[in-house]
A and B are shown apart, each in its own frame.
Chain A
Amino acid sequence: EPEVTQTPSHQVTQMGQEVILRCVPISNHLYFYWYRQILGQKVEFLVSFYNNEISEKSEIFDDQFSVERPDGSNFTLKIRSTKLEDSAMYFCASIRGLYGYTFGSGTRLTVV
């Protein structure tokens, strides 16, 4: 069964550093998403991406965040200057049509 692949599975970074989280969505999917879960809190939506542009973003997704689909297969989330409160599990997801989101296994980001 096709999978959404995320790398790395765990990343530790110093506060203020830039991080790039990588995702390879399912190849024929059209919509791509990033979600995150801070420990002990709900999974929360960050951004959706369709047709090479952001289609919706949450209040969390400020100027420190950006997304790209540089080569038609990878989908990346960049955090420019990480803060302690960015520590969370980040999930990538993709969907082809109306239903059936497929999630990756997540990248645990720890900011120290």
Chain B
Amino acid sequence: ILNVEQSPQSLHVQEGDSTNFTCSFPSSNFYALHWYRWETAKSPEALFVMTLNGDEKKKGRISATLNTKEGYSYLYIKGSQPEDSATYLCAFRGQGAQKLVFGQGTRLTINP
């Protein structure tokens, strides 16, 4: 059974501070790792799709790294803003598979 774990489950950060959280996934049969940002009552918003070991992607103040050999990815947010408050989901896709296997999410709250 594929298992994807995210930590921490929730996080409170002061506005302006930087933060990061982790997604761990199976290190074998890797195809892609997806990061989503999900606000309540909205569609999960795609942040990154990462495919290559050592990949580092950036979108504004948000960046992500990927280590497929050890099976983890980090998401970093620099200079947190209240609008960054959301649940951040990672999802693993294996070789030959169509489905995504999700972690439980990290719920981020930015305190003004």
Contacts and interface: CB of A to CB of B under 8 A. Distances in A.
Interface of A: 3-4, 9, 31, 33, 35, 41-45, 48, 50, 55-56, 58, 91, 98-106
30 contacts: A3-B43, A33-B98, A35-B100, A35-B102, A42-B4, A42-B102, A42-B104, A43-B91, A43-B102, A45-B99, A45-B101, A48-B98, A48-B99, A50-B98, A55-B98, A56-B98, A56-B99, A91-B44, A98-B32, A99-B51, A100-B49, A101-B34, A102-B43, A102-B46, A103-B36, A103-B44, A104-B43, A105-B41, A105-B43, A106-B43
Contacts of A41: 104
A106 B89 CA distance: 15
Interface residues of B, number: 22
Interface of B: 4, 32, 34, 36, 41-44, 46, 49, 51, 89, 91, 97-105
> Which 10 A/B pairs are nearest by Cβ-Cβ distance?
A43-B102, A45-B99, A48-B98, A105-B43, A99-B49, A103-B44, A103-B43, A42-B104, A42-B102, A56-B98
Contacts of A43: 89, 91, 102
Contact of B99 (A33, A42, A50, A106): A33
Contacts of B102: 35, 42-44
B43 A100 contact: no
A4 B97 CA distance: 22
B41 A100 contact: no
A103 B99 CA distance: 13
Nearest to B3: A42
B87 to A, nearest CB: 10
Nearest to A91: B44
Given A33-B99, A91-B44, A101-B46, 13 more contacts: A3-B43, A33-B98, A35-B102, A41-B104, A42-B104, A43-B102, A45-B100, A58-B99, A99-B32, A99-B49, A103-B36, A103-B43, A105-B43
